[in-house]
Amino acid sequence: MNGADLLCDTLLANDVDVCFANPGTSEMHFVAALDRKPQMRCVLGLFEGVVSGAADGYARMAKKPAATLLHLGPGLGNALANLHNAKRARTPMVNVVGDHARHHLQHDAPLTSDIESIARPMSHWVRRIGSPEGVGEDAGEAIAQARRQPGQISTLILPADCAWTDLPEGTQARKVAPLAAALTDSDHVKTVARHMAAARKAGKRVVLFMGPQAIEGEAAQVAGRIAQATGVQLMTPTAFRRMQRGQGAVDIARLPYVVDLGTKALADCAELILVGVNAPVAFFAYPGKASEIAPASCEVRRLSRNDEDALHALQALAEALGVPAHGASVGAAPSIDLSAPSNGKLTSAAVNRLVLKALPEGAIVVDESVTSGREIAQLNMGAAPHDWLSTTGGAIGQGIPTAVGASVACPTRQVVSMQADGSGMYTCQGLWTQAREKLKVLTIVYANDTYAILHGEMQAVGTQEPGDNARRMLDLDQPSLNWSQLAQAMGVPSRRVDTVEAFVDALKAGLAENGPFLIEARI
Amino acid sequence: MNGADLLCDTLLANDVDVCFANPGTSEMHFVAALDRKPQMRCVLGLFEGVVSGAADGYARMAKKPAATLLHLGPGLGNALANLHNAKRARTPMVNVVGDHARHHLQHDAPLTSDIESIARPMSHWVRRIGSPEGVGEDAGEAIAQARRQPGQISTLILPADCAWTDLPEGTQARKVAPLAAALTDSDHVKTVARHMAAARKAGKRVVLFMGPQAIEGEAAQVAGRIAQATGVQLMTPTAFRRMQRGQGAVDIARLPYVVDLGTKALADCAELILVGVNAPVAFFAYPGKASEIAPASCEVRRLSRNDEDALHALQALAEALGVPAHGASVGAAPSIDLSAPSNGKLTSAAVNRLVLKALPEGAIVVDESVTSGREIAQLNMGAAPHDWLSTTGGAIGQGIPTAVGASVACPTRQVVSMQADGSGMYTCQGLWTQAREKLKVLTIVYANDTYAILHGEMQAVGTQEPGDNARRMLDLDQPSLNWSQLAQAMGVPSRRVDTVEAFVDALKAGLAENGPFLIEARI
């Protein structure tokens, strides 16, 4: 057994049994170790942005970390954008980044770089393995840190010689104890509850602003009961990790992306109660506009810190508010009209409605629809029950890889990947992994040949009619991309459609496929 | 005039008139400023690895920096791998990375990250613009630093409010004075010359090991004269920025990538003289193998530091050695057989020979052929005179973007991009920019459906027969990529061929095209 074997065994002993990978020479001993462990599922990405994005999607659905395998500083660099998104999602992840052997570093070989510096901005925890004997302890700590609530990015740097050196006979991997989440102080909860009750009694608008843990599963149910009993409203940031949506789900509003709409959504809010999340801020600053979304008159109170157990905090809040433990957690099912025209020119509005209407129960919707799908948030409560995963850190190119990972975690569920074209091009290589792994992912590309969001921003800075240089940087036309061909080039069957009729047909075909399919929706 | 205008004007005043870009919201005021300056050529990349790789290729050929425009930490992250390659090439480059407005940073909005930390490992110089008034000075310094010999990566962080704030009337861009390169001490040169002469007199093998500046243009000619007059040999590292090759060029040997071959190439070298480069080291460490490539018995002497003027150092060396100032710099043209079979199954050997034989004079060969094209180094002196650009930092995905930049710099010259398939997938989006800009780039993809280099490395670690997990990480088959379709999806005409006859036809068609073309060579 060498260091690489011990690393592999430690991952497996702690239930980390999927490795999204793009290895290189310095990781070859780790690859050989993985090769000796068929119980580890290795999934190749043809670019590291696919690797990190897939690990994100996987953990969102599996509720446990995957490992990634990355090749030195540049490989980690390629993974950074989706690590940034995963860090913002608070997704648990264990990155293994190979580096040169310890004695080789001093020679500044071409692939040498300062891996720690590259890793830190997009990791919660970084460690360089110092010796072959230390591999087990370091790997265990990386896993424990990744699992720390509400989820962390661990990055472990593995020098090649620490992987290739043989260890004493009898060396064994150990299972690490989970780090318990902190619990919110009960007196503090009571104080918050008193303020909330007083505000509600005075007829004021109170909003529970909820983080990643609070909007999922049991926590969302408790929040729903609180809302039902007290009339407080539930909201989450624009960018969130995972939410249950559709008929019967607790309706948690998503804060709109556009600053003015966000401000409007909270305009008359008197008390904003933070549950494992920070107060809402604008994605970007604009001249003359505030960064904070809540009005200055709004009292912002924190129920629980981001590292505290959100379910516990919400349960304690419910109790303090006297909310019945088994009351209803949702109101009447909202009546949402998902009807769309049955023919004619395809539009993003038609795509959104047709997809949501056709969504099979238990689907996983990966949403990188950017401008084209903004109304999904208002419509998807009318669909069959499903999970909804959003882009979290604002780094585009998350959709296709996240769909890969979600499908690896839940192979029997239909993944529907709602993908803007400009963003999709960032990590289009992920389509190949969908084909390789035969993943049941239906990708819908909103093909409008432009970074539509940036045209809006150009207008916001006062440029009504962009000139040649601006258009050359904001539009994807000349030439227009052929997504259907792109998918087929990577082994994913596809159709290119521009009418409602053809889209409906393609949607039927795509959902019937027992593997990946892509629809290029020309809108 | 606002800060963004001043930045744009400062770039133009200093002859930086090409900007490879992928902007986002925080850069919108800079986009608006670029839009007001039609003399700035803006080239969009659909992924930032294309942007940084293109800026590298551009500067290698134009001998001046391009600007890049990148969107916050994740955009910079996506650019890192090719920035790493450019840094190792010592390519001059000015990166402009947009960031949130200064007052917005404290709110930790979703796209906030520690940009300095991400930038430093792959930059020689990093600065955050502190105020709108400071934009001009900071931009000037960034350009001066980029131009510092032998070339540096400058990264300038531009907070959105420093871009959008209006400046006092009369604010003007200034031209910055170049930073002069240091000159090698003449006594030191004489000492090195004495050692070299003595070694040669004793019949010993002496190798001039030459860095990026030394192998180009006039410096290469001087080195050639020294070699001709004294019998010393000329060599450069495996990874180099730009070399003139083909008939009539000074023959500078490329150190082989494979450690054992490199060691063999320097086995009997008694004196290794470093000219603006470090002593050769293995790309990777291997158990039981030395990191240094030169034998322990070899005397390693430094003629000039990496930041010293290599041309000046070589001229001084020639003078000290008494080499005639106008002597011949090359020996007899080497006789190299580029003949290939005229039919049958296509092989990488046939591709290499057929391409080199058909190479038009003045072509620019961008070489990311990895394993398939290793013999190009031995063959290309038999081709017509051309420039040869290599992957420098070992980060794959450099070829397609570098070809973009080289062609933007030299639009009338034929660029031939020799591209391994696995590496090409990293930045395949660059094909779209080739179509958008109608660049005369002929891409040859060596389609072998595998990371062939890693199979060799697996054998080196003792795995003769890779198992399922290893094969799943080292092979690109199941499904096989269709590069021809991929190219067409991005607007690049293409052919997919697997016989010599079809390849010869496709080569003719590709070279006749007045724009991009791709040949998928199934080997």
Residue B44, in any domain of the structure: yes
User: Which chain A residue has the Cα nearest residue B120?
Assistant: A117
Q: Of the candidates A266, A300, A320, which is a domain's last residue? A: A320
The pLDDT of residue B331 is above 80: no
Among candidate residues B439, B391, B453, the one with its CA nearest the CA of residue B419: B391
B43, B47, B153, best to mutate vs chain A, most A CBs in 10 Å: B47
- Residue A399 sits in the same domain as residue A464: yes
pLDDT of residue A523: 95
Six-digit token pair at A196? 């909330």
**What is the pLDDT of chain B when averaged over all its residues?**
96
Instruction: Report chain A residues whose CB lies below 8 A from the CB of B37.
Output: 469
End-to-end CA distance of chain A: 56
The mean pLDDT value for B92-115 works out to 97
Residue B334, in any domain of the structure: no
pLDDT of residue B457: 87
Instruction: Report chain A residues whose CB lies below 8 A from the CB of B282.
Output: 104, 107, 109
- Residue B310 sits in the same domain as residue B352: no
H/E/C letters for each residue in A503-516? HHHHHHHHHHCCCC
The pLDDT of residue B204 is above 70: yes
Closest Cα in chain B, distance from residue A228 (Å): 30
Six-digit token pair at B467? 């198992």
H/E/C letters for each residue in B334-362? CCCCCCCCCCCECCHHHHHHHHHHHCCCC
Q: Is there a contact between A100 and B428 if contact means CB atoms under 8 Å apart? A: no
The mean pLDDT value for B447-452 works out to 91
- Candidates A34, A285, A485; nearest CB to B104: A285
pLDDT of residue A212: 97
Which letter does DSSP use for residue B280 in this model?
Answer: P
DSSP per residue, A253-270: EEPPSSHHHHHHHTTTEE
Instruction: Report chain B residues whose CB lies below 8 A from the CB of A29.
Output: 461
Spatial distance between the Cα atoms of A200 and A198, rounded to a whole number of angstroms: 5
Spatial distance between the Cα atoms of A98 and A112, rounded to a whole number of angstroms: 11
H/E/C letters for each residue in B163-218? HHCECCCCCCCCCCCCCCCECCCHHHHHHHHHHHHHHHHCCCEEEEEECCCCCCHH
Judge whether A394 and A65 are in contact, CB under 8 Å: no
The pLDDT of residue A333 is above 90: no
Six-digit token pair at B489? 């999806």
Tell me phi and psi for residue A18, to 5 degrees: -125, 130
CA B319, B324, B328, B331 torsion: positive or negative? negative
Contacts of A463 (CB under 8 A, 6+ apart): A470, B32, B35
CA B485, B486, B492, B495 torsion: positive or negative? negative
Asked whether this complex has an ipTM greater than 0.90, the answer is yes
Six-digit token pair at B39? 């003399």
Instruction: Report chain A residues whose CB lies below 8 A from the CB of B463.
Output: 32, 35
Q: Is there a contact between B118 and A80 if contact means CB atoms under 8 Å apart? A: yes
H/E/C letters for each residue in A340-380? CCCCCECCHHHHHHHHHHHCCCCEEEEEECCCCCCCHHHHH
A503: left (phi over 0), alpha (psi -120 to 50) or beta: alpha
Tell me phi and psi for residue A216, to 5 degrees: -110, 145
The pLDDT of residue B64 is above 70: yes
Site of tokens 């959709």: A399
Which of the given ranges, B136-140, B450-454, B472-476, has the highest pLDDT on average?
Answer: B136-140
pLDDT of residue A155: 98
**What is the pLDDT of chain A when averaged over all its residues?**
96
Residue B332, in any domain of the structure: no
Judge whether B146 and B154 are in contact, CB under 8 Å: yes
Spatial distance between the Cα atoms of A56 and A146, rounded to a whole number of angstroms: 12
- Residue B12 sits in the same domain as residue B118: yes
Number of domains into which chain A is organized:
3
Instruction: Report chain A residues whose CB lies below 8 A from the CB of B85.
Output: 74
Spatial distance between the Cα atoms of A48 and A12, rounded to a whole number of angstroms: 22
- Residue B400 sits in the same domain as residue B283: no
The mean pLDDT value for B150-160 works out to 97
Residue B394, in any domain of the structure: yes
Q: Which helix or strand (DSSP H or E) is residue B31 part of?
A: helix B28-35
DSSP per residue, A306-331: TTB-HHHHHHHHHHHTT--TTS--S-
pLDDT tens sequence across A352-382: 999 999 999 999 999 999 999 999 999 999 9
Which letter does DSSP use for residue A498 in this model?
Answer: -
- Residue A140 sits in the same domain as residue A195: no
Residue A193, in any domain of the structure: yes
Closest Cα in chain A, distance from residue B312 (Å): 26
Judge whether A51 and A19 are in contact, CB under 8 Å: no
Q: Of the candidates A130, A164, A198, which is a domain's last residue? A: A164
Residue A247, in any domain of the structure: yes
pLDDT tens sequence across B385-412: 999 999 999 999 999 999 999 999 999 9
Closest Cα in chain A, distance from residue B324 (Å): 36
Please count the CA atoms within 13 angstroms of the CA of B472 that sit on its side-chain side. Answer: 17
Residue A329, in any domain of the structure: no
Band of the pLDDT at B330, cuts 50, 70, 90?
Answer: confident
Among candidate residues A149, A308, A303, the one with its CA nearest the CA of residue A223: A303
Instruction: Report chain B residues whose CB lies below 8 A from the CB of A49.
Output: 78
Instruction: Report chain B residues whose CB lies below 8 A from the CB of A394.
Output: 74, 110-111
- Candidates B77, B84, B460; nearest CB to A81: B77
Q: Is there a contact between A426 and B78 if contact means CB atoms under 8 Å apart? A: yes
| Residues linked to residue B235 through DSSP beta bridges, in sequence order | B209, B253
The pLDDT of residue B446 is above 80: yes
pLDDT of residue A322: 96
CA B182, B186, B187, B189 torsion: positive or negative? positive
Contacts of B273 (CB under 8 A, 6+ apart): B192, B196, B206, B207, B208, B209, B232, B301, B302, B303
- Residue B21 sits in the same domain as residue B103: yes
- Residue A236 sits in the same domain as residue A101: no
- Residue B380 sits in the same domain as residue B415: yes
User: Which chain A residue has the Cα nearest residue B457?
Assistant: A25
- Candidates B49, B291, B481; nearest CB to A489: B481
Band of the pLDDT at B458, cuts 50, 70, 90?
Answer: confident
Percent helix, strand, coil in chain A, to 5, is: 40, 20, 40
Closest Cα in chain B, distance from residue A511 (Å): 21
pLDDT tens sequence across A159-183: 999 999 999 999 999 999 988 899 9
Q: Is there a contact between B109 and A291 if contact means CB atoms under 8 Å apart? A: yes
User: Which chain A residue has the Cα nearest residue B34?
Assistant: A469
DSSP per residue, A230-241: H--EEEE-SS-S
Spatial distance between the Cα atoms of B108 and B520, rounded to a whole number of angstroms: 46
Six-digit token pair at B328? 């011949």
- Candidates A122, A287, A425; nearest CB to B429: A425
Band of the pLDDT at A332, cuts 50, 70, 90?
Answer: low
Instruction: Report chain B residues whose CB lies below 8 A from the CB of A465.
Output: none
The mean pLDDT value for A67-82 works out to 98
Contacts of A140 (CB under 8 A, 6+ apart): A10, A14, A174, A176
- Candidates B84, B395, B425; nearest CB to A429: B425
- Residue B278 sits in the same domain as residue B205: yes
Q: Is there a contact between A453 and B25 if contact means CB atoms under 8 Å apart? A: yes
- Candidates B35, B101, B462; nearest CB to A469: B35
The mean pLDDT value for B161-189 works out to 94
Judge whether B267 and B203 are in contact, CB under 8 Å: no
pLDDT tens sequence across B15-61: 999 999 999 999 999 999 999 999 999 999 999 999 999 999 999 99
DSSP per residue, B367-398: EE-TTTTTTHHHHGGGSSSEEEEE--SS-S--
Complete edge-to-edge strand list for the sheet that includes strand B269-275: B253-254, B233-236, B205-210, B269-275, B299-304
Write the CATH number for A221. Answer: 3.40.50.1220
User: Which chain B residue has the Cα nearest residue A485?
Assistant: B489
The pLDDT of residue B180 is above 90: no
DSSP per residue, A402-451: HHHHHHHHSTTSPEEEEEEHHHHGGGTTHHHHHHHTT--EEEEEEE-SB-
> Of how many residues is chain B composed?
523
User: Which chain A residue has the Cα nearest residue B485?
Assistant: A489
Band of the pLDDT at B134, cuts 50, 70, 90?
Answer: very high
Closest Cα in chain B, distance from residue A21 (Å): 7
- Residue B112 sits in the same domain as residue B198: no
Provide the H-helix boundaries in A48-185: 48-62, 72-89, 115-119, 135-147, 160-164
- Candidates B78, B462, B472; nearest CB to A42: B472
The mean pLDDT value for A294-302 works out to 97
The pLDDT of residue B301 is above 70: yes
- Taking the complete model, does pTM exceed 0.90, yes or no? yes
State the residue range of the domain holding A421. Answer: 348-522
Closest Cα in chain A, distance from residue B161 (Å): 8
pLDDT tens sequence across B230-253: 999 999 999 999 999 999 999 999
Residue A306, in any domain of the structure: yes
A296 burial type by CB count under 10 A (0-12 exposed, 13-18 middle, 19+ buried)? exposed
CA B15, B19, B20, B23 torsion: positive or negative? positive
Classified as helix, coil or strand, B498 is: coil
- Residue A209 sits in the same domain as residue A302: yes
pLDDT tens sequence across A407-460: 999 999 999 999 999 999 999 999 999 999 999 999 999 999 998 889 888 888
- Candidates A31, A73, A115; nearest CB to B473: A31
CB atoms within 10 A of CB B465: 9
Band of the pLDDT at B456, cuts 50, 70, 90?
Answer: confident
Judge whether A507 and A358 are in contact, CB under 8 Å: yes
Tell me phi and psi for residue A257, to 5 degrees: -70, -45
B133: left (phi over 0), alpha (psi -120 to 50) or beta: alpha
Q: Is there a contact between A78 and B470 if contact means CB atoms under 8 Å apart? A: no
- Residue B116 sits in the same domain as residue B58: yes
Write the CATH number for A116. Answer: 3.40.50.970
CB contacts < 8 A, A to B, total: 327
Q: Is there a contact between A73 and B84 if contact means CB atoms under 8 Å apart? A: yes
Instruction: Report chain B residues whose CB lies below 8 A from the CB of A103.
Output: 285, 291
pLDDT tens sequence across B66-80: 999 999 999 999 999
Band of the pLDDT at B464, cuts 50, 70, 90?
Answer: confident
